Amino acid sequence: MRIFSGIQPTGRKHLGNYIGAIAQYVSSQERGEGIFCVVDLHAITLPFDPAELRERSYDTIAILLAAGLDPARSTLFRQSDVPAHTELTWLLSSLTELGRLQRMHQFRDKSLAQRELVSAALLLYPVLQAADVLAYRAHEVPVGEDQREHLELMRDVARRFNSRYGDGEDVLVVPEHRISQVGARIMDLQDPTSKMSTSVGSEQGTVYVLDEPKAIEKKLKSAVTDSGSDVRRDPQKPGVSNLIEILAAVRGVGPEAIESELADARYGELKGAVAAAVVDYLAPVRERYDALRRDERALEAILAAGAERAEIRFGKRHIGRFGIVEQGPDFLLKSWCLRHGSPDGNKRHEESQRGPKAFPHGCPREFAARQPNSPLAPSIN
Ligand code: ATP
Ligand code: MG
């Protein structure tokens, strides 16, 4: 089984990311072949600073390694190092309903929060996400609850592709999401009606994976709670419900177990128990992180090896001209060259590889320039 998931390098990663996604990535290594991606191209859908983005990408990959992702077992890479993601996005955008993108909750929330530019990239975010997963024919996508809607879209795009262009075959795998029972939506501690988030949300309401123990304690002990005094989950008690959920997720038990354990406790005791458990939970990650983060050359080497492996993974069997091409990672270039889609398109592509004369419909300049001996090829001094 192939497992794919991506994580943004924006801001600092938080407890919600850790419980809802990263911890799942780590355990999924026991079940299948993991492909995990630092999605820097998703991060640029909101205003960004390039130097900062580079730093945050290193931070994020170091957190993933510190959490226990093993580059010998899993493919770890940076999205922008593998250009096929963006190229496939364009192809899949032709199969995606505009209206549905406009109705996506994340697009609506993030575009409302934007003061200046609401980018077209923000709208297309779920198509890029579909390309990320579908490119590798992944079967399973571990994510938090907030991604359910995007996963549904991706599944529909894959089905539409297969029915239109698959010629009776499931060329694209329709992936399943894997959303954990406990901790799939950790809420902001200061506003427990909003999810803990990398890009929006309050500093005091967000526990970062790399926070010092003192900061973690302070944030959890000043978490907003609700009226009443019972430690139990209730839609009317979002603050207390969130703390119960966090404690359950960190301890690896169901929330009922926490409710019965703390049946006679007060809110203060609940907060103290959550703070102690979260400090213990994150301490080993923070300890391993420092050494890993310091060595940027080693991080780059891991990312480069991962990108190479990722390219091999999607190259084996893919789509060209909205038909099937079995070999070569340049399937997307093929799809451009064969864009007129005649039935012998793939054959013509094979011929075109042998010499520049064989592009019956003309070839994009960029592709031609990449051919050996092409007069368009840039000279290297
Ligand atoms: P943003 O709010 O800007 O989208 P984010 O905090 O959601 O950022 P992402 O990199 O988009 O960070 O998400 C990485 C993974 O973490 C995704 O699988 C997402 O579903 C999961 N996740 C994000 N927030 C939470 C949360 N509060 N609780 C549980 N899982 C979460
Ligand atoms: Mg997100």
Q: Which pLDDT tens digit goes with each residue over 43-66? A: 999 999 999 999 999 999 999 999
What's the 130 CA to ligand 2 centre distance in angstroms? 14
Q: Residue 45: inside a domain, yes or no? A: yes
What is the distance in angstroms between the CA of the first residue and the CA of the last residue of the chain? 46
Note the pLDDT tens digit of each residue in 197-207: 987 788 999 99
Residues 100 and 128 in one domain: yes
- Helix (H), strand (E) counts: the chain: 17, 7
Spatial neighbors of 39 by CB under 8 A, at least 6 apart, are 6, 7, 8, 9, 79, 128, 129, 132
- The confidence band for 377, taking pLDDT boundaries of 50, 70 and 90, is very low
Do 161 and 243 lie in a common domain? no
**Which ligand is closest to the CA of 194, given by its number?**
1
pLDDT of residue 114: 87
How far apart, in Å, are the Cα atoms of 312 and each of 96, 135, 238, 331, 353? 27, 11, 46, 12, 20
CB 152 within 8 A of CB 105: no
Judged against a pLDDT cut of 50, whether residue 273 lies above it is answered with: yes
Model confidence at 342: pLDDT above 90: no
Predicted pLDDT at 356: 41
Say whether both 24 and 63 belong to one domain: yes
Domains contained in the chain, number: 3
Q: Are residues 219 and 157 in the same domain?
A: no
Nearest-5° Cα angle at 55, 51 to 58: 145
CB 307 within 8 A of CB 83: no
In a domain, 198, yes or no: no
Whether 375 shows a pLDDT value over 80: the answer reads: no
Domain match, 51 and 82 both: yes
Asked if the structure places residue 53 within a domain, the reply is yes
* CA–centroid distance, residue 381 to ligand 1 (Å): 46
Instruction: Pick from 10, 15, 17, 48 the residue to mutate for probing ligand 1's pocket: most ligand atoms within 8 Å of its CB.
Output: 17
Asked if 342 and 381 sit in the same domain, the reply is yes
Asked if residue 189 belongs to a domain, the reply is: no
The whole-number pLDDT of residue 380 equals 38
User: Average pLDDT, stretch 354-361?
Assistant: 41
Question: HSE (CB half, 13 Å, CA atoms) of 109?
Answer: 10
Q: Are residues 175 and 46 in the same domain?
A: yes
Its domain, for residue 20, covers 2-182+295-326
Q: Report the C-alpha gap between 349 and 367 in whole angstroms.
A: 12
Q: Are residues 98 and 25 in the same domain?
A: yes
Position 194 in a domain:
no
Tokens 């575009």 belong to residue: 111
Query: Could you write out the DSSP letters of every residue in 319-348?
Result: EETTEEE-S-TTHHHHHHHTTT--TTHHHH
Give the CATH number for residue 75: 3.40.50.620
Atom of ligand 1 nearest to the CA of 183: 29
| 379 pLDDT above the threshold of 90 | no
Name residues contacting ligand 1 (CB within 6 A): 7-8, 10, 16-17, 19-21, 143-144, 146-147, 184-186, 195-199
Give the range among 119-133, 246-260, 279-293, 356-370 with minimum mean pLDDT.
356-370
254/362 same-domain check:
no
Which tens digit of pLDDT belongs to each residue from 11-46? 689 999 999 999 999 999 999 999 999 999 999 999
Ligand closest to Cα of 207 equals 1
**Vertex 105 angle, CA 104 and 109, to 5°:** 125
Candidates 13, 38, 129, 146: which one to mutate for ligand 1, based on the most atoms within 8 Å of Cβ?
146
Contacts of 178 (CB under 8 A, 6+ apart): 3, 24, 28, 140, 141, 142, 143
Q: pLDDT by residue (tens digit) across 105-128? A: 999 999 998 888 999 999 999 999
Ligand 2 center from residue 165 Cα (angstroms): 31
Q: Give the C-alpha separation, 117 to 231, whole Å.
A: 43
Ligand 2: centre distance to CA 147 (Å): 7
206, part of any domain: no
The percent of residues above 70 in pLDDT, for the chain, comes to: 81
Span 158-193, pLDDT tens digits:
999 888 877 677 878 999 999 999 999 999 999 999
Strand partners, 177: 141
What's the mean per-residue pLDDT of the chain?
A: 85
According to the model, what pLDDT value does residue 191 have?
Answer: 95
Among 189, 190, 197, 209, name the best residue to mutate to test ligand 1's pocket (greatest count of ligand atoms within 8 A of Cβ): 197
Claim to verify: residue 268 and residue 364 sit in the same structural domain: no
Ligand closest to 192 (CA) is: 1
CA 279 – ligand 1 centroid, Å? 20
Q: Does residue 270 form part of some domain?
A: yes
